[in-house]
Structure 1
Amino acid sequence: MIKTDVFVVADNVYTPLGKTTTENFSNLTQNLSAVKRHGDHCAAFFGDMDLNDGTACTKFEQLLIASIADALKQGNIDAADSHTVLIVSSTKGNISLLETEENSPGLQERIALSTSAKLVAAHFGFVNQPVVISNACVSGVVAIITAMRLLRTGQYETAVVVGADVISEFVLSGFRSFQALSAEVCRPFDKSRDGLNLGEGAATMILSSHEKYAGSIKVLGGGISNDANHISGPSRTGEELAYAINRSLMDAGLTAGDIEFISAHGTATLYNDEMEANAIGLSELQHVPLNSLKGYYGHTLGAAGLIESIISIRSMKEGLFLPTPGFNELGVTQTVNVCSSQLNISAENILKTASGFGGCNAAVVFGK
């Protein structure tokens, strides 16, 4: 059976490092990081960026709108086309309203991700019901895979995939309870890693199955799994993430030998990095160069998979892959090839991985 090609036609990365993908990538190549010290932890927060669009939208929704607007303009996409679908990815959405508003049925409805998705859809005139993906920290990658699958069915021709999260005291307290926050810039896969940094951000990827985009980067395949190990602790073996990786390769019609770079989840927590390294080894990808961008952006939760995929796609186009900030000495049992400096390679196919609470795992393959 011949699969429909799915092309990446436009994108936006909206973070404390910049309002466009180009601005973000330029700052990353200069080794600039948005991660700063905030009290007892390091994180990447927006400063006094003017996001007020004159509506009653929250900061979370304004981030979604700002990111989508730039991507739609780039791609000259008509949101009101009946063959276009909006997919929204987030882990926490407007949960911060619980800190400032009195709990009530009205507040519960306002906090619902479906409410935010409908507000954003109405802002741009999307006519189809938006799809919401909220599956912990794999949400962004799963949203891309969901879009790919919807376009393959022929139900839609264009998918606007957007993800965002903002960091509230609610989110901070949760990660503090796990003692997972680092007081320094995080060190993915490093022997001295001691926890993650959180970050705020948004990103949009527009996908299309229209043949006029032939020649663009493609979403070649994706895989999703759940290890059912623990509500917050990942699998100790990495077998389930390896399963998602292998499913993504099979879906793409590729083998491990075809992958030339990996954009890892790389949170810099003890257990996640160990599990991810095991999965990469089980997938026979241990020699493939990889990076984690968490030292630049922090962990942006529902936006992470999108931000890191888009930056990796730009790396493919530029032939310039970024290092892993904070990495000095390998500190995982399974050997993996962590980039510690910028790498100039012409990659045809790259892999993006993600894992999250509840044992969820996802992997997606992009190719030329």
Structure 2
Amino acid sequence: MDWPSVYLHEANCVSPLGLDLPTNWERLTEGHIGIVQADMGKCGNVFVGKMAEDAIIPRAPTATGTLLEHMMEIAAAPLVKKYKPTARTALVLSTTKGNISLLDSGDIEGARVSVLAKKIAARLGIHTKPVVVSHACISGLLAVIAAKRLIQMGQYDDAIVLAGDVVSEFVVSGFQAFQAMSPFPCRPFDKRRHGVSLGEAAACVYMSREKGAFKILGDGAINDANHISGPSRTGEGLCRSIAAAVQEAGIDIGSIDYISAHGTATLYNDEMESVAFSRLGLEQVPLNSLKGYYGHTLGASGLLELAVTMKSMEEGVLLPTQGFGEIGVSQPLNVLENITRQQTRRALKTASGFGGSNAAMIIERR
């Protein structure tokens, strides 16, 4: 069966680097990073990407709410205003932890992700029942894949995909338990990398069957069933996810111009990605990770990085991998070290996460 094409029209984001995508892009091209050393209570001083709440609250459309709710509203508001959701518009919301900090005050009901989704939908004026995607660190990219398929099946005409997560003591303690936190701002794919830096952000994209700036050529999401936290040493799940995206796209894999990798700067993740890319013959394709700028924003990361990828393709500029200096994985990769001017027609975005989860998407600039 030939499914209808789905297009990405416009994206926006909120992060420590700025409250909209143009500001983020300006700061990224200037080499700024959002990772700072912050007091995370019992977890001590940790390098994380933290929002300044006093900058967020005055910009929030709604006076009350949590930091995450404010961030999501600010990210989505311009797109909702421009594209005017109808009774055939989906809201697909991605997060890994949602308002989990509300558990500190005993608000169990408020901490439910379903409650967050309904609250955001009401505030944005979206009347369809929200769809929640929470699948570890591939959630943001998987939400776009889910929205695409819902549109293709005719359940919706268009979709607002919204993703967000915040840094909390609860989340930091979990990564510390895995001994995965870096003692300095993370260094993706670098020989000196020593773990992840966490971050917080929200991102949003509008997509529909109407022709837009970017066409989704293909996608794939395949778990490797290897380990609860460790990725496959052979890169099998990511390799198959990319292969599925290429097959759906109906293109030669050699026509991919750029890769926005997951690149968390953990020893095993970066190594796994290098193996997967090498197996597919992608080792010479220009590649970067944005984690050195933002930290790992969990459920927001896939969508945040897709938004920056779209902007990068529009501007004809590829960003360097912040913190990278010397290759530290077993397979060769063309990791970008400097700002590079390049017209990019087709880009591959990948994501991987706990539970052996993997996702890949190929987009084409029209």
**Fold equivalence (TM over 0.5):** yes
* Cα distance per residue 1:278-332 (max 9 Å; x no partner): 1111121111110000010000001100110110111111110100011111110
CA distance in 1, matches of 2:14, 2:56: 13
Matched residue of 1:204: which SS? strand
Instruction: Tell me which residue corresponds to 2:68.
Output: 60
What's the CA shift for 1:71? 2.2
The one of 72, 77, 84 equivalent to 1:69 is: 77
The one of 222, 227, 235 equivalent to 2:224 is: 227
Instruction: Tell me which residue corresponds to 1:121.
Output: 121
* Cα distance per residue 1:68-107 (max 9 Å; x no partner): 102223xx2122x1110000000000111122x13xxxx3
| Kept in 2: contact 1:239–1:282 (CA 8 A) | no
Instruction: Tell me which residue corresponds to 2:274.
Output: 277
Counterpart of 1:86 in structure 2: which amino acid? Answer: L
Instruction: Tell me which residue corresponds to 2:95.
Output: 90
What's the CA shift for 1:31? 0.5
Instruction: Tell me which residue corresponds to 2:56.
Output: 50
Alignment of 1:323-338 (within 5 A): 323-338=320-335
CA distance in 2, matches of 1:242, 1:58: 38
| Kept in 2: contact 1:10–1:72 (CA 8 A) | no
**Is 1:359 the counterpart of 2:328 in the alignment?**
no
What's the CA shift for 1:108? 2.7
Matched pairs, number: 357
Instruction: Tell me which residue corresponds to 1:158.
Output: 158
| Kept in 2: contact 1:145–1:221 (CA 8 A) | no
Instruction: Tell me which residue corresponds to 2:34.
Output: 34
Worse-superposed segment, 139-148 or 118-127: 118-127
Matched residue of 2:222: which SS? strand
**Is 1:5 the counterpart of 2:2 in the alignment?**
no
Instruction: Tell me which residue corresponds to 2:293.
Output: 296
* Cα distance per residue 1:222-266 (max 9 Å; x no partner): 100111111111111101110001101111112210101000000
Matched residue of 1:353: which SS? strand
The one of 311, 335, 348 equivalent to 2:345 is: 348
CA distance in 2, matches of 1:175, 1:4: 41
**Is 1:242 the counterpart of 2:239 in the alignment?**
yes
Counterpart of 1:97 in structure 2: which amino acid? Answer: L
Counterpart of 2:87 in structure 1: which amino acid? Answer: S
Instruction: Tell me which residue corresponds to 1:146.
Output: 146
* Cα distance per residue 1:107-158 (max 9 Å; x no partner): 3322111111111111122121110000000000100111111111222111
CA distance in 2, matches of 1:190, 1:124: 41
What's the CA shift for 1:38? 2.4
| Kept in 1: contact 2:95–2:299 (CA 8 A) | yes
Matched residue of 2:55: which SS? coil
Residue segments in structure 1 that go unaligned for 5+ positions in a row: none
CA distance in 2, matches of 1:194, 1:50: 31
| Kept in 1: contact 2:121–2:130 (CA 8 A) | yes
Matched residue of 1:136: which SS? coil
CA distance in 2, matches of 1:50, 1:23: 14
The one of 303, 309, 312 equivalent to 1:312 is: 309
Alignment of 1:102-121 (within 5 A): 102=106, 107-121=107-121
CA distance in 1, matches of 2:66, 2:126: 19
What's the CA shift for 1:53? 4.7
Residue segments in structure 2 that go unaligned for 5+ positions in a row: 40-44
Instruction: Tell me which residue corresponds to 1:203.
Output: 203
Instruction: Tell me which residue corresponds to 1:179.
Output: 179
Counterpart of 2:74 in structure 1: which amino acid? Answer: A
| Kept in 1: contact 2:62–2:70 (CA 8 A) | no
Counterpart of 1:71 in structure 2: which amino acid? Answer: L
Calculate percent identity across the aligned residue pairs: 46
Counterpart of 2:205 in structure 1: which amino acid? Answer: M
What's the CA shift for 1:45? 0.1
CA distance in 2, matches of 1:111, 1:55: 19
| Kept in 2: contact 1:267–1:273 (CA 8 A) | yes
| Kept in 1: contact 2:164–2:300 (CA 8 A) | yes
* Change beyond 3 A, Cα 1:138–1:164: same
CA distance in 2, matches of 1:122, 1:115: 11
